[in-house]
Amino acid sequence: MRPQTVQEMASAAEVIRRNLDGHSNTVYVNTRRLTHINMTAFNCIAEILSSACKADRQRKIVIVTSSVIAWSAPLFKTLASDEPNLLVEIYDSAFYPGQTFVEDESFIPILRTQTKMTWRHEREILGRHGLRDGLAIADICCGIGDFATLIKRHFNPTRLLALDHSRKSLEYARRVAADFGLTSIEYTYGDASQMLLADNQFDFVTCRHSLQIFDRPDVLLRELYRICKPGGRVYITNEKNSHCLGEPHSESIRWTYDQVARLFSHFDMDVEMGPKSRRLLTDAGFDAIQVETFMVTNLDGDPRDFANMIEAWENVYAGQMAVRRGDPPDFIRRFRQGFKDHVLAALHPKGYAGWPIWAASGRKPY
């Protein structure tokens, strides 16, 4: 909204007034996609909101904004400070249930080790799903950015955008890219469920291990579909944690990973999503869908890497999430034991430990 005069705001102002006048309880004003506004427009809206607040003190007006739009919350909060029945809601302060866990710095070791171990498989898989040199690529929910750096080094994209909602993760990602001398990755702070990106921009869009930690994966898939060019592909990876396995102590390991799935479900996350990938992509409108699975194991390089990953899982899942859920000490001790047995399986000279991943992609129809 950048009008030169208040008269240019007349139609928009009438829409706001009409909707405010038509409701007497709670009215939500959604400004999540209002990226730019000048003071002419803001003052016009402010006058309408203030008048509506004074006209009916029992009515509550809620301005819904996003942390991605830096100016929005401070400006509307200043306005709300003078009107007790005008509130500002930053909807993405914790816009998915597991955000506090995955944005914690203690999660970084998990992400680094996971990418290190999955890349041995994914480098070949990505080619089968249509990734090649010279494409415009977006890595959505990029986390600490290590996957984006690998894409940059091995696939030479013409453009590479990496988006995440964690400022800490993006700061870390920029440092990692700088260490490798990779200066052309566009690290972007944003909400994956409402990206401020134009339609049909990218040839190849990736979203790894992320749909499973959102309570509305269909919303994210619609956004991935929107920013992908017709004929381009969206590539996702997800897990089925209850199928993690190990030997020896297979029973203890199986019990713990069954509990991992239930624990994530408690926080409205689905780490059993892997086999659902085909249905999710189909429902989102993709065609030419490809699905394959691979097993990350302790035999993929140094077994210590696998053990480190499991130890990091234990720290977050048993040390934070189970505690947050309110699980009793006896449960947490048994829960931890399965992780310790999985580490033992990974490091045992005759042992085997596995973590299954589903890789899937779909084409946006022409």
87 lies in some domain: yes
214 lies in some domain: yes
One domain for residues 12 and 138? no
**Mean per-residue pLDDT of the chain:** 91
In the prediction, which pLDDT does 1 show? 87
pLDDT single digits (tens) 119-162:
999 999 999 999 999 999 999 999 889 999 999 999 999 999 99
One domain for residues 196 and 333? yes
270 lies in some domain: yes
Look up residue 116 and give its two tokens: 């290190």
- Of 57, 72, 93, at which residue does a domain stop? 93
293 lies in some domain: yes
Q: Which of 96-110, 167-181, 270-284 has the lowest mean pLDDT?
A: 96-110
What is the dihedral angle through the alpha carbons of 327, 263, 265, 142, rounded to the nearest 10 degrees? 130
Domain count, the chain: 2
Name the 3-class secondary structure at 168.
Answer: helix
Nearest CA to 356 among 290, 269, 276, 297?
297
Planar angle of CA 231, 232, 233, nearest 5 degrees = 125
In the prediction, which pLDDT does 66 show? 82
- Of 43, 76, 93, at which residue does a domain stop? 93
328 lies in some domain: yes
pLDDT single digits (tens) 7-57:
999 999 999 999 888 887 899 999 888 888 888 999 999 999 999 999 998
**pTM of this prediction exceeds 0.85:** no
Question: How distant is the alpha carbon of residue 86 from its chain centre?
Answer: 30
In angstroms, the CA 40 to CA 349 distance is 72
1 lies in some domain: no
In the prediction, which pLDDT does 103 show? 62
Whose structure tokens read 């993006």? 170
- Of 93, 120, 144, at which residue does a domain stop? 93
14 lies in some domain: yes
One domain for residues 59 and 128? no
Compare 35 and 291 and report the one with higher pLDDT: 291
One domain for residues 214 and 358? yes
One domain for residues 220 and 119? yes
Segment holding 282, helix H or strand E: helix 277-283
65 lies in some domain: yes
Q: What is the DSSP letter of 24?
A: S
Whose structure tokens read 């909204």? 1
The amino acid present at 16, given as its one-letter code, is I
One domain for residues 170 and 37? no
Helix (H), strand (E), coil (C) string for 127-149? HHCCCCCCCEEEEECCCCCHHHH
In which domain, by residue range, is 110 found?
Answer: 99-363
Name the 3-class secondary structure at 219.
Answer: helix
In the prediction, which pLDDT does 181 show? 86
CATH code for the domain in which residue 151 is found: 3.40.50.150
Confidence of residue 262 (pLDDT cuts 50, 70, 90): very high
Question: Quick check: 171 pLDDT over 70?
Answer: yes
Planar angle of CA 296, 103, 62, nearest 5 degrees = 135
One domain for residues 176 and 222? yes
Question: Quick check: 214 pLDDT over 90?
Answer: no
Question: Quick check: 104 pLDDT over 90?
Answer: no
**Contacts with 278 (C-beta within 8 Å, 6 or more apart), sequence order:** 289, 291, 360
One domain for residues 166 and 40? no
Question: How distant is the alpha carbon of residue 10 from its chain centre?
Answer: 38
* Cβ(238)–Cβ(277) below 8 Å: yes
**Contacts with 47 (C-beta within 8 Å, 6 or more apart), sequence order:** none
One domain for residues 132 and 241? yes
One domain for residues 157 and 288? yes
One domain for residues 155 and 45? no
One domain for residues 206 and 118? yes
